[in-house]
Amino acid sequence: MFIGRYIEDRKYYDYLKKIYSFDFICFISASIFMIIILLGLLFDFDTSNILAIYFVVYIIFDYFKIRKYKKCIKFVNNAIVEIDDDFIKIKTKNNTDLEQKIDLNTVDKIYVKKDYFLFDLDKIKNLLSLKFNKHPEHYIIVESGGKKKRIDFIFDSYYMVEELKKIINQWERKGYNLSLI
């Protein structure tokens, strides 16, 4: 069974991109300030003012990043997605109330992505790709009666990525009408 955090509004991706943009800007500004400080040590000029300016700029960026993060969290903290061989369930966070239950035996088509993966933000390459609008969106689209329902979610671990891949393979074996996006 796959369990992930349900994204209630797709604005989440916009806020997430802004958060990572702030991270990227902080990384670049820290690099520039470190180069200036090293040059100051080499050529013997006072860098204390530059260091103070850097800390003020960093605090300002962190303030805005935290504000965006709080808005971003509102979109994912209220519900979870449970996906198994026959059902997709959207439940409240405390697992007591069922918001929505989709029986996969009654749907016309299921759209799944070719590749699901956990996005590793420890790599500079991934931060750069976020800057250029390439943040991964993880979702499944269920079509029933001509209506499409998109279910966005967040992976909590690599284990859940593998669980979802196993479930998709199980769907193929059961003969569900799958389409790769």
Domain of 22, in residue numbers: 12-73
Question: For residue 15, is pLDDT > 90?
Answer: no
Q: Residue 23: its pLDDT value, please?
A: 78
> How confident is residue 130, by pLDDT bands cut at 50, 70 and 90?
low
Q: What is the mean pLDDT of residues 62-80?
A: 85
Both 108 and 176 in one domain: the answer is: yes
Q: Is pLDDT above 60 for 44?
A: yes
CATH code for the domain of 111? 2.30.29.30
**68/87 same-domain check:** no
Q: Which residue has the higher pLDDT, 97 or 61?
A: 61
pLDDT at 103: 93
Give, for 171, the enclosing helix (H) or strand (E).
helix 158-174
Mean pLDDT of 63-88: 88
Mean pLDDT is highest, among 13-22, 74-83, 171-180, for 171-180
Same-domain pairing of 63 and 87:
no
DSSP 120: -
| pLDDT band for position 135 (cuts 50, 70, 90) | low
Are residues 97 and 139 located together in one domain of the fold?
yes
Q: Which position has the higher pLDDT, 56 or 98?
A: 56
When the pLDDT of each residue in the chain is averaged and rounded to a whole number, the result is 83
The Cβ of residue 178 has, within 10 Å, a number of other Cβ atoms equal to: 13
Same domain for 94 and 18, yes or no, is no
**Least confidently predicted of 30-34, 79-83, 132-136:** 132-136
* pLDDT on residue 140: 94
46 φ, ψ (degrees, to nearest 5): -70, 125
Q: Are 61 and 86 members of one domain?
A: no
Task: Indicate the DSSP class of residue 134.
Answer: -
The confidence score (pLDDT) of residue 157 equals 84
- From the list 60, 97, 106, 59, the residue with the least C-alpha distance to 78 is 97
CA distance 121 to 116: 16
Q: Yes or no: say if 167 and 4 are a contact pair by the CB < 8 Å rule.
A: no
**pTM for the whole structure:** 0.76
Is the pLDDT at 120 greater than 60, yes or no? no
Number of domains in the chain: 2
Distance between CA 38 and CA 32 in Å, rounded?
10
